Amino acid sequence: MSMSTVPTRITHLIGGHDWTGVPERTGEVYNPASGAVTGQVDLASAELVAEVAAKAATAARSWADASLARRTRVLFAFRELLNQRKEEIAALITAEHGKVLDDALGEVTRGLEVAEFACGIPHLLQGGHTEGASTNVDVYSIRQALGVVAVISPFNFPAMVPLWFVPIAIACGNAVILKPSEKDPSAAVAMARLWTEAGLPDGVMNVVHGDKEAVDALLTSPDVAAVSFVGSTPIARYVYETATAHGKRVQALGGAKNHMLVLPDADLDLVADAAVNAGFGSAGERCMAISALVAVEPVADQLIAKIKERMAGLRTGDGTKGCDMGPLVTAAHRDKVAGYVQAGVEAGATLVVDGRTGPFDGDEGGFWLGPTLFDHVTPEMSIYREEIFGPVLSVVRVPSYDAGLDLINANPYGNGTAIFTNDGGAARRFQHEVQVGMVGINVPIPVPVAYYSFGGWKHSLFGDTHAHGMDGVRFFTRGKVVTSRWLDPSHGGLNLGFPQNA
């Protein structure tokens, strides 16, 4: 393991400024391609979180009063700055997460699309107005900010996931406390600085680093009105239950096990390309990665041969060196994924390609595990049941469309899924019958565009609203309906009955 660099201190950004206090605890940040500790991140105490939340509550009150014209100008400026600095942010992601540079740039670009959507906030917040709902009575609706919202994000999309929420929350007039993953915290800080540069008043956007202690403090803080969480299912459930018990509005997006159903009429070359891209992109550390390939017989043998051929050409290595796939995020996670591979072998699945052995184009201390393919996987095996979150693709053979659909619908997760077929009728049936929140038809990673909303079903999401799009605007605002009558003497008189319209 190379330890030549001095770790950089990564601290909180509070009220537009770096925190200058002394942390009680810190966490290590690695370069996963070398195994070196490159950063030391401050982990916030509960007391510090309470202080930040109180300050953010003050900032939220005046930001909610900022005109839409002013808010929009800040949003456009942020969009421009993010676009100018996207390469810098992508480089920070590759350095701490390990994903290859192109992929890191891709996630910043998808996040940028949410900032572009939020630039339309005057239109998005338009309410309805009814003149003369009753005699001389007008009714209209308005949407108002919530106050302080907490955004708690996972390691796998250090820029895109915060961007799913932050621009819309700010556009709606809220203050934000972002608690990014402590594994790769630098992209969040870099983006938060851009808000200050864009003219956002100090205190509206804050970044607090930390682990369970900081998260618990946010979930229970009387100053936090809402929580947007993305992470694994057990933590998502815990966040939902704890924060709702403390009176907060919560959307908690959880883990996934995404299936790709391949019908016998599909073009198997296109399917093989899609399966490799969606199974191994970002080393499988995507909540929309395909981890189960459900092949309707008789196509499995032919499809596996094509996938294997493509896997032989993939280069796993340092994300800055033009490789196809980078390392896993930590040594512990790499070991966990390797443990699943071993469990698959022991359970009797056929290991077609073993990614544990390399070769790897990078420092030998890196957290390496190459693309891995299993055949003859069955629903009882842990490699099928559990979210592995690594470059492991499992082929499950089924006799029919119905058997494939039943398998997908029996799975406790419901984030994304895809069908590959040339039969429009079958695709249409699938989109209607499958119990999953995001569906691709010949599209392996159906991440919705920013003006639609992102979210799964079942154990992949706790709460009622999905991320971004109009669900985002609804989540970050409260609706109010005003019934108004401008009085004149003819409106006088006593009547204790329930108001009726006339």
CB 370 within 8 A of CB 356: yes
In DSSP notation, 410-467 reads HSSEESEEEEE-S-HHHHHHHHHH---SEEEES-SS-PPPTTS-B--EETTEESS--B
- Residue whose pair of structure tokens reads 């708690």 in the numeric block: 152
Q: What's the closest the beta carbon of residue 212 comes to ligand NAD, in angstroms?
A: 4
Give yes or no for residue 278 binding ligand NAD (CB under 6 A).
no
Under rule CB under 6 A, how many of the chain's residues touch ligand NAD? 27
DSSP 344-391: HHHHT-EEEE-GGG---BS-TTS-----EEEES--TTSHHHHS---SS
Q: Could you tell me the smallest distance in angstroms from the CB atom of residue 20 to ligand NAD?
A: 23
Cα 400–chain centre separation: 33
Question: Which residue, 31 or 421, is less far from ligand NAD as judged by CB?
Answer: 31
Segment near ligand NAD (CB under 6 A); pick from 63-71, 116-124, 210-218, 427-435: 210-218
Each residue 174-193 as x (binds ligand NAD by CB under 6 A) or -, in order, gives -----x-xx-----------
Q: Does 25 bind ligand NAD (CB under 6 A)?
A: no
Short-list 127, 115, 96, 68, CA closest to 5: 96
CB-nearer residue toward ligand NAD: 158 or 173: 158
Radius of gyration of the chain (CA): 25
The span of 27-35, 148-156, 418-426, 445-453 binding ligand NAD (CB under 6 A) equals 148-156
Taking the least distance from each CB to ligand NAD, the nearer of 216 and 273 is 216
- Residue span binding ligand NAD (CB under 6 A) among the ranges 228-236, 244-252, 313-321, 470-478: 228-236
Establish if 155 lies at the interface with ligand NAD (CB under 6 A).
yes
- Specify the stretch interacting with ligand NAD by CB under 6 A; choose among 31-39, 44-52, 135-143, 153-161: 153-161
Establish if 338 lies at the interface with ligand NAD (CB under 6 A).
Answer: no
Q: Is 287 an active-site residue?
A: yes
> Among the options 119, 172, 287, 323, which is catalytic?
287
Cβ pair 241, 399 in contact under 8 A:
no
| Residue 91 in the binding site for ligand NAD (CB under 6 A) | no
253 binds ligand NAD (CB under 6 A): yes
Collapsing DSSP states into helix, strand and coil, what is residue 264?
coil
Cα–Cα–Cα angle for 343, 349, 350, rounded to 5 degrees: 120
Shortest reach from residue 400's CB to ligand NAD, in Å: 29
Q: Which of 167, 203, 255, 469 binds ligand NAD (CB under 6 A)?
A: 255
Going from the C-alpha of 176 to that of each of 54, 162, 211, 384, the distances in angstroms are 12, 11, 18, 38
* Shortest Å distance, C-beta 156 to ligand NAD: 5
**Closest separation in Å from C-beta 40 to ligand NAD:** 16
User: Is residue 42 at the binding interface for ligand NAD, with CB under 6 A as the rule?
Assistant: no
> What character string, x for contact with ligand NAD (CB under 6 A) and - otherwise, covers 373-412?
--------------x-x-----------------------
Distance CA 154, CA 387 (A): 15
Total residues found in the chain within this entry: 502
Least distance from C-beta 322 to ligand NAD, angstroms? Answer: 26
Of 226, 349, 233, 247, nearest to 293 by C-alpha is 349
Site string for ligand NAD, 413-442 (x = CB under 6 A): --x---------------------------
Among 35, 39, 98, 154, binds ligand NAD (CB under 6 A): 154
Q: Tell me how far apart the alpha carbons of residues 73 and 293 are, in angstroms, rounded to a whole number.
A: 46
Can residue 254 be called a binding residue for ligand NAD (CB under 6 A)? yes
Closer by beta carbon to ligand NAD, 303 or else 436: 436
The residue at minimum Cβ distance from ligand NAD is: 231
Q: Does 366 bind ligand NAD (CB under 6 A)?
A: no
Report how far residue 261's alpha carbon sits from residue 441's, in angstroms, rounded to the nearest whole number: 10
DSSP-based three-state secondary structure for 6: coil
Does 320 engage in binding with ligand NAD (CB under 6 A)? no
Relative to beta strand 17-18, strand 249-253 is unpaired
Q: If DSSP states are collapsed to H, E and C, what string results for 175-231?
A: EEEEECCCCCCHHHHHHHHHHHHCCCCCCCEEECCCCHHHHHHHHHCCCEEEEEEEC
The number of C-alpha atoms within 13 Å of 289 and in the hemisphere containing its C-beta is 23
Non-local (6+) Cβ contacts of 222 within 8 A are none
Q: Which residues bind ligand NAD (CB under 6 A)?
A: 152-157, 161, 179, 181-182, 211-212, 215, 230-232, 235, 253-256, 287, 387, 389, 415, 456, 460
Annotated catalytic residues are: 287
